[in-house]
């Protein structure tokens, strides 16, 4: 009687498609996955512990480095948490600028998702196209705050500086070109039958299971659950904009891909509306030079491109936080890898990892 055994294949920390340093220990029966256990921690930098020895304002640059491709979102989450703790009111122009920057960053982050998905599945042209468009957004950010990826633009009480005069014409040019770019990606990738068959019906996560495990972000919405913090508990001035939240039906990789492509279109529409409605004014409220929030704890969360990013701060009345914890969406979304990948083939593991869109900087913190 022949006996077969499973063998352990190590999709190690150095691998072209684990989106950073993630180790996935695969137990395979031939080509079928029996278990896929993610092993993280290779990028751990102790950011939460560092927060205890920095003042509240000094911690903002560190939040950039959490989910380093959507830094504006991280900055926004942290600043709004501290503003909630102290009770600062942000001027109108600053609110609109924050919305513009965050939504542009959402587009940039989803372009990275699209590019990485394309190259993981073999279509490297898709990655080049996606990153080329993202360069336009990074140039805009460079113009506004001087950095391309770690912005530190959003501060307590507003934003650090008003936008220069050449920003708005450049932004309008980008918004005019963006639908054509999106159309090119749809023609190259979304219409492609090979991509469709690779992603359809693989990596199914039911809505029920997604809610149980704490999945958030586009992965949750692809499973059919209509939960977007921008609509459910609007923060900032999101209630003034008219946008729809794309939903998927079955929660497979294809739905997660389509939801993110649609979200890019919705973000572009939000930026257009914000540009029209933006008033003149100051961009920074007056806040005390030395911040000493009252003792207590606060939790605030925002809708980052990867999910619900939450900051939980415990303050003891001093200049440094007593404890700061980041509710990182990529970390919590990654738990679902093992149960989703059971019974799939190795190629599907790559597709599931790419569509869960976890960023290791955020997973490891």
Partner 1 sequence: MVGKGLLEGMRVTLKAFFNKKETLQYPEIKLTMPARFRGGELELDNKKCIACGLCARACPNHVIEMATGTDEQKKRHLKSYVYHSGLCLYCNYCIEACPTNAICWDKNYENSRYFKEELDVDCLAIAKQKSAATTVDAAQADKPNAEQEDTLKRREKDE
Partner 2 sequence: MQEITGLFKIAEILRDILGRFLPNPQLVDICMSLINIGAIFTIISLTAVVLVYTERKVSAFMQRRSGPNRVGPGGTLQSVADMIKLMAKEDIMPAGADKWMWILAPMLLFIPAAAVFVVFPFDNKAIFADLNIGIFYFIAMSSQSVLPFLMAGWASNNKYSLVGGMRTVAQMLSYEVPMVLSILGIVMLAGSMRMSTIVAAQQHTWFIVLQPIAFVVYVITATAEINRAPFDLVEGESEIVAGPFTEYTGMRWALFFLAEYANLLAVSVIATTLFLGGWNGPWLPGWVWFFLKVGGMIFLFMWFRWTFPRLRIDQLMSFGWKVLLPLALLNIIVTGIGMYIYEFFS
Binding residues for partner 2, rule: CB under 8 A, are: 7, 9-10, 15-17, 31, 118-126, 128-129, 132, 188, 192, 194-195, 197-198, 345-348, 350
- Closer to partner 2 by Cβ: residue 45 or 187: 187
Site membership for partner 1, residue 241 (CB under 8 A) = no
Per CB under 8 A, which of residues 56..75 are in contact with partner 1?
57-62
Q: Which does 15 bind (CB under 5 to 8 A by kind): partner 1, partner 2, none?
A: partner 2
Distance (Å, whole) CA 252 – CA 273? 32
Give the C-alpha separation, 203 to 352, whole Å.
6
Give the whole-angstrom CA distance, residue 190 versus residue 257: 9
Would you say 28 or 57 has its CB closer to partner 1? 57
Residue 124 binds which one of partner 1, partner 2, none, with CB within 5 to 8 A depending on kind? partner 2
* Closer CB to partner 2, 144 or 253, in the complex: 253
The binder of 152, among partner 1, partner 2, none, by C-beta within 5 to 8 A per type, is: partner 1
DSSP output for 50-72:
HGGGS-TGGGHHHHHTTSTT-HH
Residue 54 interacts with partner 1 (CB under 8 A): yes or no: yes
Task: Give the tokens for residue 48.
Answer: 């939460």
Q: Which residues are within 8 A (CB) of 165 and not within 5 positions of it... i.e. 6 or more apart?
A: none
Residue 319 near partner 1 by CB under 8 A: no
- The yes or no reply on residue 284 touching partner 1 (CB under 8 A) is no
Long-range contacts of 168-176 (CB under 8 A, 24+ apart): 168/275, 170/139, 170/140, 170/143, 171/100, 171/104, 171/140, 171/271, 171/275, 172/275, 174/136, 174/137, 174/140, 175/268, 175/271, 175/272, 175/275
Residues 6+ apart with CB under 8 A from 329: 216, 217, 304, 306, 307, 308, 309, 362
Among 25, 143, 345, 346, binds partner 1 (CB under 8 A): 143
In the complex, what is the shortest distance from the CB of residue 223 to partner 1, in angstroms, rounded to a whole number?
25
179 makes contact with partner 1 (CB under 8 A): no
Token reading at 349:
């593991």
Chain-centroid distance, C-alpha 136:
19
Residue 239: which of partner 1, partner 2, none does it interact with, CB under 5 to 8 A by kind? Answer: none
Full DSSP string of 71-92: HHHHHHHHHHHHHHHHTPPPPH
∠ CA 262-265-268 to the nearest 5 degrees?
150
Please name every residue paired with 284 in a beta bridge, in sequence order, or none if there are none: 158
CB-nearer residue toward partner 2: 100 or 189: 189
Query: Which of 6-14, 102-110, 157-165, 271-279 is the region at the interface with partner 1 (rule: CB under 8 A)?
Result: 157-165
Could you tell which of partner 2, partner 1, none binds residue 237, using a CB distance below 5 to 8 A set by kind?
none
Out of 196, 244, 281, 339, name the contact with partner 1 by CB under 8 A: 196
Helix (H) / strand (E) element for 301: namely: strand 296-304
**Taking CB under 8 A as the rule, does residue 168 contact partner 1?**
no
152 belongs to the binding site for partner 1 (CB under 8 A):
yes
Q: In whole angstroms, what is the distance from residue 270 CA to residue 249 CA?
A: 24
Residue 164 C-beta: closest distance to partner 2, Å? 28
CB of 114 vs partner 1, minimal distance in Å: 14
DSSP 185-242: HIIIIIT-HHHHHHHTTSS---HHHHHHHT--THHHHHTT----HHHHS--TTGGGS-
User: Least Å distance between CB 158 and partner 1?
Assistant: 13
Closest to partner 1 by CB, 27 vs 162, is 162
Cβ proximity to partner 2: between 147 and 346 the closer is 346
Site residues, partner 1 (CB under 8 A): 54, 57-62, 125, 129, 132, 142-147, 150, 152, 160-161, 164, 184, 187-189, 191-194, 196
């Amino acid at each position: 009687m022949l006996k077969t055994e499973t063998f352990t294949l190590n999709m190690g920390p150095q691998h072209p498609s684990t989106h950073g340093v993630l180790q996935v220990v695969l137990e395979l029966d031939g080509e079928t996955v029996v278990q896929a256990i993610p092993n993280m921690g290779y990028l751990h930098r102790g950011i939460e512990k560092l927060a205890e020895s920095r003042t509240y304002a000094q911690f903002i640059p560190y939040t950039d480095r959490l989910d380093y491709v959507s830094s504006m979102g991280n900055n926004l989450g942290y600043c709004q948490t501290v503003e909630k703790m102290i009770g600062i009111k942000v001027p109108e122009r600053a609110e609109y600028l924050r919305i513009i920057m965050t939504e542009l960053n959402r587009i940039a982050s989803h372009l990275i998702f699209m590019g990485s998905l394309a190259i993981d599945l073999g279509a490297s042209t898709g990655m080049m196209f996606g990153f080329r468009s993202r360069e336009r957004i990074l140039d805009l950010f460079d113009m506004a705050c001087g950095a391309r990826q770690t912005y530190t633009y959003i501060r307590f009480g507003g934003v650090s500086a008003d936008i220069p005069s050449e920003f708005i014409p450049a932004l309008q040019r980008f918004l005019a070109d963006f639908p054509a770019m999106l159309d090119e990606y749809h023609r190259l990738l979304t219409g492609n039958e090979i991509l469709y068959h690779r992603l359809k019906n693989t990596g199914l996560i039911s809505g029920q299971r997604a809610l149980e495990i704490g999945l958030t972000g586009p992965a949750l919405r692809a499973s059919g659950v209509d939960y977007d913090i921008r609509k459910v508990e609007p923060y900032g001035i999101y209630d003034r904009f008219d946008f729809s939240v794309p939903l998927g039906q079955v929660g497979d990789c294809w739905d997660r891909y389509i939801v993110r492509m649609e979200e890019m279109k919705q973000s572009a529409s939000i930026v257009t509306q914000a540009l029209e409605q933006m008033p003149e004014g100051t961009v920074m409220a007056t806040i005390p030079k030395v911040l000493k929030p009252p003792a207590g704890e606060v939790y605030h969360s925002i809708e980052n491109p990867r999910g619900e990013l939450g900051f939980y701060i415990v303050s003891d009345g001093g200049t440094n936080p007593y404890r700061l914890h980041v509710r990182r969406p990529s970390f919590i979304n990654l738990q679902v890898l093992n149960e989703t990948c059971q019974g799939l083939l190795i190629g599907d593991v790559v597709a599931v990892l790419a569509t869960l869109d976890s960023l290791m900087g955020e997973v490891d913190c």
